[in-house]
Every structure is written in C-alpha cells, then in structure tokens.
Structure 1
Amino acid sequence: MRVALIGYGMMGKIIEQKLLAKGHEIAGIVSMDRLQSINDIRDPFDVIIDFSHPDNLESLLAYVEIHHTPIVISTTGFTSEQVAAIKHAALRSPVVYTANFSLGITVMQEVLRLITPILEDSFDMEVIEKHHNKKLDAPSGTAKMLVETLNPDGIYAEVYGREGNGKRQKEIGIHAVRGGSIVGEHSVIYAGEDEVLEIKHEAHSKHVFANGAIKAAEFLVGKPAGLYDMHDVLFRK
C-alpha cells in the first residue's frame, strides 16, 4: 500500500514509522516543512491518511473530488459545515471518518449498543471523559460519539455538567476533566439500584490512534465510494 501522508506532527511521525514497519510505502508527506500540497506528490499512491488540521480539508476534498482517491480523515475539530463536506465527498469517493480511531473505543461502542437497551429502563447513564490540560474542546468528540450511541433517538436530555439544585430527569450526564498529561479516558456508567456497571477505555499513548488509522487505510483500498467508520473496518468487512 502506498500512502500520501498529510501532517507530520507527532501523529504523522508515528504513522510513518508504523507504515514502514508494516512494509507499506509513503509516496509523499505534506506539512509545513515538507511538500506544501497534495498536488506536489509526484509518485502514485493508493490512499490518503490525514492527521493534520481542519484548514487542510478543503484542498484535500478538492483533490479527492477529482481523483476519487480513498481518504482516511483522522483530523478532529471540524465545523458542522466541514463534516457536511466530508459526507458529500463520500458520495463519490471512499472515506473513513470517525471521532476516534482507537480499536478499543470501537469495540466499546459495540458493547454499549448491545447492553443499553437492556439496562436503560432501570439504570441511570453518565459519561465521563478525561484529557490532558492542553486539550481545547470539551466534552471530547469521542464523548459525544458515545452519548450518541447511548441516545440514538434523542429521547434523553443531554446534560453537560451539573450545578445547583434539581431532581434528575430522563437524562444522560456528560462530564469533562482536564489535567496533566492524560492521553484520553472515557467511561460510561450505568447506575442502578444497589449495583453499578462501568465500561471504561484508557488510551495510554497516541499509538492506539495510529494503529486504527492504518487499519482503516488498509480496509479502504479497493472499496467503493461511501462513508465508512471504524465499525465498518472492524465488523463489516
């Protein structure tokens, strides 16, 4: 597999190392100190892996629109308009896009889908996420994704933090912690009468996201146009 790698920060360097260790090739790297644009890559490639910045999305999707190249979009922090553009691009090109490329988080979602219909009538549900003190957005995109898994039909109010007096309603509480160098922790708590079930995922390094992005790229090569996520990569081959 030949890859066009967009972004060469910490994640880009990790992905480069892992790609080469698996016997894949890198056709070119686009970053501030490398190639300036994907159009500058002269060697052919099979797939694009983007781990850069939302500002690069427009030019990448313009390239994909012309060439129909498969693309794995691992960048986060997109606006709603940019997410809509990604979905539009997937009408003509194969795209993997998700809020979290961790294999463990993907499996966690599958577990939540299985057990939530069984527990939701008699258990309260809460989501807690923890990240390092440099993370800007709260709650995390992954926390929002987990809440969507718990509440696909929107029947629960989504309460972001709590303050003051008030009786619990039909709701899911979402809580964000920021501190130190925590890479990423996400917990879903089902609290019932006299028992508590907690489903928890901890990321101990950014390598887990690189592993998922590479697995997604391997999956995407040769696939028809469409919007895929990590559930497709792991469970719907």
Structure 2
Amino acid sequence: MLNILLSGCNGHMGQSIVGICSELDDVQIVAGINRTAKCLNDFSVYSSCEEFSGAADVIIDFSNPNNLDMLLKFIADKKIPAVLCTTGYCDEQFKSILSASAAAPIFMSGNMSLGINLMLSLVKKSAAVLGSTFDIEIIEKHHNRKIDAPSGTANMIANAAAEALETKPEYTYERSSKRCKRAKNEIGISSVRGGNIVGEHEIIFAGQNEVLSIKHSAMSRDVFANGAISAARYMAKITSPGLYSMDDLLKSALGE
C-alpha cells in the first residue's frame, strides 16, 4: 500500500487526487495538509506539516508557493520523497528546492501531464529546425482563479524551445508598453485567464507563408492528478537524494 501525505488536499487539484485514490486498491491518503485545516474527506487534515506525526511513503504538494519553506524543512528532516506539483516559484525558491534535494529525493515538474511532456520533445525538435528563421510565440489559457502568469508549463515550453536555439532568446511577456518592431531573438508569451479552462498551451512557429502550431488541451484536472500519483509511485521507490523530473519517470516506465 502506498501511503500519501497530501499537501493542498482541499484545493481543486487535491480533491481530484483524493477522488482518484479512493478508487485505487493500493494507494491511500493517510493525511492532508491545508492552510485551513478543514476535513472534507475521511482522513485528518493539519494546517502545517509539523503537526503530522504519522508515517507516509511520499508527500504530494499541490498547494501554493508560500508553503515551500515549510515543506522543504519537513522533507529534509524526515528524508521523505516529495512530488512538487505547485507552480509559480521564484528563482530563489528554485534554488531552495535544488539545495533541499541534496538531503532528500524531490520530484518537480511544472506540468504532470504525459501529453505536455511529449509536446516538450516536439517543441525542441521543431525549434532546432525552424528557430533560426521562424518567430516563436506561446499562448497559455487557464481558469480565472489561477494566480501565477505565465503558467509554469508556458515557461517549460519556452525553455524547451530556447535549449534548441543557437542564440539565447529574450522572453517577452507583454507588448503594450513597446512601440517597436518584434526582435528576432525573442519568444513571446501571452496569458489568458477566464471561465473554467483547465489548461491550454500552444506554441506557434510563424514563418514566411507558413505557420506550424503545436497545441495541448487538458479536458480534466484528472490528467494532472493521475500524473502526480504516477510520480508518487515512482518516488516511493527512490532512496537516493536528488532532483527528479518527468523525464526520469518516463525513462523508468520505458525501462531505460
């Protein structure tokens, strides 16, 4: 039985994970962590990690960047594997995660979808072929409750394209303050917030007389919840400290 400590258990993503786990015979949520320690399900909920004294094989976090320091201290002290699914971290927080991974196994991904991670591979190949002569623009769309912009996934897509380019690009997040021609070495990133859009990401390679678009649409939060549970299964078997990613999970699944 895989025992999961779920941070952000009362949020939309947390409840998606709870719902999926309730239908699995070999996975259970042993406790939840939530800023408002209100019990919505049949497990105890605490307002901080320090209040939890039970046993867990892995912790999944789908909460808020403000909880990171608390989580990293708990992870390092308990040496418990962690799956960090929260987005919106700043550069200093990324450094903190990297530092904490020296003490415990940490899995981090800006998007837990298998389709998105396949998209990243396609983006790298496309940018390597088209990047020198095509303009690159990224459009991401999410529901009206999402706080961070651009999304962590949009940044992942931009970084994937940038890795394949010969010249380091400049990321442009808005154009209203600019009165100039588009620079050749830039990647434009635009954000849309509205309704209950689960998640939509598109990268556009715009050339002379032709346009290539690669697009991914998530129809349900269960896409990300299933990915988080798969990552938890993988990380529960990891004993060596380090920073792990979806690439490691996919390689493991393929037996590489």
Superposition CA RMSD, Å: 1.9
Give yes or no for the alignment of 1:195 onto 2:210: yes
Counterpart mapping for 1:41-60 below 5 A: 41-60=52-71
Rounded to whole Å, the distance in 2 between the matches of 1:161 and 1:60 is 33
The residue aligned with 1:160 is 173
Q: Do the aligned residues in 1 keep the contact of 2:88 with 2:151 (CA within 8 Å)?
A: no
- SS at the partner of 1:122? coil
Match of 1:100 among 100, 111, 114: 111
What amino acid maps onto 2:129 in structure 1? I
TM-score normalized with structure 1 length: 0.91
SS of the residue 1:21 aligns to: coil
Distance 1:39 1:156, change over 3 A: closer
Q: Does 1:15 align with 2:17?
A: yes
Q: Using a 3 Å threshold, how does the CA distance of structure 1 residues 171 and 54 change in structure 2: closer, same or farther? A: closer
> AA paired with 1:208?
V
1:168 Cα deviation (Å)? 4.1
Match of 1:64 in 2: 75
Residue 136 to residue 26, structure 1, CA distance change in 2 (3 Å): closer
Task: Specify the alignment match of 2:6 in structure 1.
Answer: 5
For residue 219 of structure 2, what is the aligned residue in structure 1? 204
Q: CA deviation at 1:59?
A: 2.1
Structure-1 separation of matches of 2:7 and 2:149: 25
Match for residue 132 of structure 1?
A: 143
Q: How many residues are treated as equivalent by the alignment?
A: 237
Partner residue in 2 for 1:229 = 245
Quote the offset at 1:100 in angstroms: 1.4
Alpha-carbon distance in 2 for matches of 1:176, 1:25: 36
Normalised by the size of structure 2, how large is the TM-score? 0.85
CA contact (8 A) 1:27 1:41 kept: no
**Change in 2 beyond 3 A, CA 1:236/1:189:** farther
3-state SS of 2:168 partner: coil
Match of 1:78 in 2: 89
Query: How far apart are 1:151 and its partner, in Å?
Result: 0.8
In the alignment, residue 99 of structure 1 is paired with which amino acid? G
Which residue identity does 1:221 align to in structure 2? A
SS at match of 2:46: coil
In 2, Cα distance between equivalents of 1:165 and 1:92: 48
Tell me the percent identity: 41
The residue type equivalent to 1:174 in the other structure is I
**Superimposed CA distance per residue, residues 166-218 of structure 1 (whole angstroms, 9 cap, x where no aligned partner):** 25422222112222222211101112222211100111221111111111111
Q: Distance in 2 between matches of 1:14 and 1:80?
A: 29
Aligned positions of 1:172-187 closer than 5 A: 172-187=187-202
The separation in 1 between residues aligned to 2:150 and 2:50, in whole angstroms, is: 35
Residues 139 and 175 in structure 1, CA contact (< 8 A), matched pair in contact too: yes
**How far apart are the structure 1 equivalents of 2:250 and 2:98?**
20
1:144 maps onto 2:160 in alignment:
no
AA aligned opposite 2:5: A
How far apart, CA to CA, are the structure 2 residues paired with 1:105 and 1:221? 23
In the TM superposition, residue 68 of structure 1 has moved relative to its aligned partner by: 1.0
Deviation at 1:222, TM superposition (A): 2.0
Name 1:25's counterpart in structure 2. 28
Unaligned 5+ segments in structure 1 are none
Task: Look up the SS of the partner of 1:211 in the other structure.
Answer: helix
